[in-house]
Structure 1
Amino acid sequence: MSPIDFSKFLNTISSEPLRVLNSSIPKSKYIPIDLSESNQILNTVDISSSSKLGMFVNNHIKKHHALVAYGGYLEVRNIYKGSSHFNSQAEEERNIHLGVDLWCGDETPILTPLDGVVHSFKNNTNYGDYGPTIILTHNISGVAFYTLYGHLSLASINKLKVGKEFKKGEQIATLGDTSVNGDYPPHLHFQIIKDIQDYNGDYPGVCSENDLGFYKGNCPDPSLLLKL
């Protein structure tokens, strides 16, 4: 299935928005946020500080009387510049975000949008990394693909097992706080992956410009499911 066909397939799974956050939060309480390098207001914020970035995000949410700020698919960001996990002399800088971030309070329940099985999980402890992460396998109409949930709480993976089944809408985890989530304000990184390759409990959530063609095809816009 080509990248275009796969995106079309994802879009037809549901005509209604699928949920990955606490289902009691109405869609009217979601507000988009721009964390790209082109946001001049963000350029005045010390984004190397999780508390100051958190203040920026929370002020944006409060200003719009919302509960969740979302966005970031294919966004070019400066947030990663302070982490060697994304920047090393041996590799091209990785700064293009491949999932959707949903910014909200820690301990927010995380749901699976579709029936799924635990493919893998891991605590990715690099500075700026996902922290506790779960990857689910889905099989819809004979088409297998994966969803990744990053920046979770440690409790989310403590007793988890590969092969555990979850039904659509069932809680799979809770959001982690700054102390475990890679040093970010609390948020969910949600990503769709067509081919998981050889990864377990991890998959690149940020890529370089040179690799964007591959990852854009392998990691389509999560809004195809979330309808944000």
Structure 2
Amino acid sequence: MLISSFQCFLETLKSHPVIDISVAKGTCVSLDLSVENTELKQVNVSSSKDLEAYIWNYMKQNNAKLAFGGYLEQRGIYQRSDYFNQLNKETERNIHIGLDLWIEANTAIFSPLKGTIHSFKNNTNYGDYGPTIILKHKIEEFEFYTLYGHLSLASIENLKVGAEVKQGEQIANLGTAEVNGDYPPHLHFQIIKDIQDYKGDYPGVSNQVDLEFYKLNCPDPNLLLKLNS
């Protein structure tokens, strides 16, 4: 795949960890939730409690406080929801285009870069983001956005569009399964080059037909976060 100038630019940025540095460095492990992971055949991934038990046990086995991964993973978890599931396999949305960071509910979330609040919304479809914040960034000649999904309800209270956000400023806390779309607690973090007309929401899962567009418009978030580097 061709590397764009935007992707190269992201790699040069010095970002603040989105989760406390004492957790994000040295105590995190990559996690595979793709359809290729045969261990998941023994897990009821439609149940947030069963999936949470699997993820937490995996972290314990690896002496980790945080698990991360999922960019461009084809996942079976979305089949439980009509919001993603399609009869046509080509248009079924099951390829994850953000990075998930799995950790306990109420964990503080920080802005990796300076920016402004672009939009926020509670996306309440089953299997959706739940409370979501999108930040807008303008650095050098690049304008782009970062999305934070599966937050607590309190995280989107008293926000103001256009308000400045400092690098390293706490912007949110993670939500529980009751409010985050029925998932184990985690942050969905996504980089978006062109947000189009979306506000408080942007697709975080693609189908095969649209995948090449999203690969360019939503590059690997770990170019910025540099987890396990």
Shorter-normalised TM range: over 0.9
Superposed CA offset, 1:38-88 (max 9, x none): 000012100000000000000011111110000000000001001011013
Whether the aligned pair in 2 keeps the contact of 1:112 and 1:168 (CA below 8 Å) is: yes
Aligned to 1:23: 21
Distance in 2, matches of 1:26 and 1:52, equals 25
Could you tell me the TM-score, scaled by structure 1's length?
0.96
Whichever residue aligns with residue 10 of structure 1, its letter is: L
Whichever residue aligns with residue 4 of structure 2, its letter is: I
Counterpart check, 1:216 vs 2:215: yes
Runs (5+) with no aligned partner, structure 1: none
Pick closer, same or farther for the CA change 1:208–1:54 going to 2, 3 Å: same
Aligned to 1:147: 146
Aligned pairs for 1:33-182 (under 5 A) are 33-89=31-87, 92-182=91-181
Whichever residue aligns with residue 109 of structure 2, its letter is: I
CA drift of 1:89 comes to 4.0
Superposed CA offset, 1:135-164 (max 9, x none): 000011131100000000000001111111
SS in 2 for 1:59: helix
Counterpart check, 1:198 vs 2:185: no
Whichever residue aligns with residue 66 of structure 1, its letter is: A
Q: Which runs of 4+ in 1 moved over 3 A?
A: 88-91
CA drift of 1:23 comes to 3.0
Whether the aligned pair in 2 keeps the contact of 1:129 and 1:182 (CA below 8 Å) is: yes
Whether the aligned pair in 2 keeps the contact of 1:31 and 1:66 (CA below 8 Å) is: yes
CA drift of 1:22 comes to 2.3
In the alignment of these two chains, the number of paired residues is 225
Distance in 2, matches of 1:41 and 1:26, equals 25
Superposed CA offset, 1:9-36 (max 9, x none): 111112xx64111233241111001000
Could you tell me the TM-score, scaled by structure 2's length?
0.95
Percent identity between matched residues is 60
